[in-house]
């Protein structure tokens, strides 16, 4: 059953994530035969709720509304929940979230769905709901979530995670993916697709967060290796074996491999394959080249090898990446 949906708001609420919950569950689409939810917003703490953009939201502090909710959505807000159960907002003031945490634990125990959007995962973690579970949050905060709640298994590559009746989403727009997933799992694909159509969003996105994360090129200060690294980036389709590269800088293969890893933090093979994926991304975004042609141009040799490395680094396929990031058709 998915009828009553309640969203407890945190200090410095993020407007976008709140808007996602309101749009999916708070909008009346009964004219198209879609369900109408008993939707309400409440304050997670007694103090006034202000958004990060400076305006207040006038909502009641009524945690009892959570007692019979079918779905509780903890939106993003503030900075991060502390292990002691307080929520530290941007001003440094501490707010006691233990009353909310008690309600969240009780909701999970009785079988209700409890979800977080983006950094709302820190509140679930402080309530103990992520212990022993897979979860996610925005990729920029995933390491902090894992450090703060070591009993959780944080996956920074996915758009959302469902672990039993506890749900977590990645950053910002991934909240849409999670909310539609909840609707789909509770009420079927037809309802989720109908809501997505009204929102003008895809009912399901391929891939995960990894395709949105920028991968920096490792810096190299070595007078010997820096010119070689620049040459590699311009010659990705060439034979770039360790033997060949070592010969270019007059080193033994073993010495070269050791020096390269010391300078860049990774092996020559991994660095080169990552650079080939990055160049493949650029070609997939900006050209009409087939995937086979892209693979050849960047030095992978075949679409199958490109796909293997693309999945490793970006957690999606070259074709799915092109559909997501391709602009207008162009030619080269």
pLDDT tens for the chain, residues 1 to 332: 899 999 999 888 999 999 999 999 999 999 999 999 999 999 999 988 989 888 999 999 999 999 999 999 999 987 545 555 555 544 345 778 899 999 999 999 999 999 999 999 999 999 999 999 999 999 889 999 999 999 999 998 888 899 999 999 998 889 999 999 899 889 987 898 889 889 988 776 665 665 555 554 555 556 678 888 889 888 999 999 999 999 999 999 999 999 888 887 789 998 899 889 989 988 988 888 999 999 999 999 999 999 999 988 877 889 988 887 664 443 33
Which pLDDT does position 59 carry in this prediction?
96
Instruction: Break the chain into its structural domains and give their ranges.
Output: 4-209, 225-325
Q: Look at residue 152 in the predicted model and tell me its pLDDT.
A: 97
CATH class of this structure's domain 4-209: alpha beta
- SS3 of the chain: the string is CCCEEEEEECCCECHHHHHHHHHHHCCCCHHHCCCCCEEEEEECCCCCEEECCCCEECCCCCHHHHCCCCEEEECCECCEECCCCEEECCCCCEEECHHHHHHHHHHHHCCCEEEECHHHHHHHHHCCCCCCCEECCCCCCHHHHHHHCCCCEECCCCCEEEECCEEEECCCCHHHHHHHHHHHHHHCHHHHHHHHHHHCCCCCCCCCHHHHCCCCCCCCCCCCHHHHHHHHHHCCCCCCCHHHHHHHCCCCHHHHHHHHHHHHCCCHHHHHHHHHHHHHHHHHHHCCCCHHHHHHHHCCCCHHHHHHHHHHHHCCCHHHHHHHHCCCCCCC
> Which CATH number is correct for 225-325, 1.10.10.60, 3.40.50.300, 1.10.287.1260, 3.30.300.30?
1.10.10.60
Tell me, yes or no, if the pTM score tops 0.75: no
């Amino acid at each position: 059953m998915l009828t009553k949906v309640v969203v407890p708001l945190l200090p410095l609420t993020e407007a976008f994530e709140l808007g996602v919950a309101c749009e999916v569950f708070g909008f009346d689409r009964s004219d198209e035969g879609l369900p109408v939810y008993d939707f309400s917003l409440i304050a997670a703490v007694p103090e006034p709720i202000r958004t990060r953009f400076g305006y207040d939201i006038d909502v009641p502090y009524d945690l009892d509304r959570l007692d019979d909710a079918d779905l509780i959505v903890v939106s993003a807000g503030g900075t991060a929940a502390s292990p002691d159960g307080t929520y530290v907002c941007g001003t440094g003031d501490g707010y006691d979230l233990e009353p909310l945490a008690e309600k969240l634990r009780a909701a999970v125990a009785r079988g209700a769905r409890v979800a977080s959007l983006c950094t709302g995962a820190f509140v679930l973690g402080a309530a103990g709901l992520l212990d022993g579970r897979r979860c996610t949050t925005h990729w920029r905060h995933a390491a902090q979530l894992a450090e703060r709640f070591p009993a959780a298994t944080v996956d920074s590559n996915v758009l959302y995670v469902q672990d039993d009746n506890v749900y977590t989403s990645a950053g910002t727009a991934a909240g849409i993916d999670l909310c539609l997933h909840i609707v789909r799992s509770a009420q079927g694909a037809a309802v989720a697709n109908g809501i997505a159509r009204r929102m003008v969003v895809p009912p399901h996105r391929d891939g995960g967060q990894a395709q949105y994360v920028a991968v920096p090129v490792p810096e190299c200060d070595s007078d010997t290796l820096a010119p070689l690294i620049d040459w590699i980036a311009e010659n990705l389709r060439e034979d770039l074996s360790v033997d060949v590269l070592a010969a270019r800088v007059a080193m033994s293969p073993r010495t070269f491999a050791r020096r390269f890893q010391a300078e860049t933090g990774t092996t020559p093979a991994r660095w080169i394959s990552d650079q080939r994926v990055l160049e493949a991304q650029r070609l997939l975004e900006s050209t009409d080249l087939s995937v086979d042609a892209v693979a050849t141009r960047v030095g992978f040799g075949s679409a199958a090898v490109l796909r293997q490395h693309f999945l490793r680094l970006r957690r999606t396929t070259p074709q799915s990446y092109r559909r997501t990031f391709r602009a207008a058709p162009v030619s080269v």
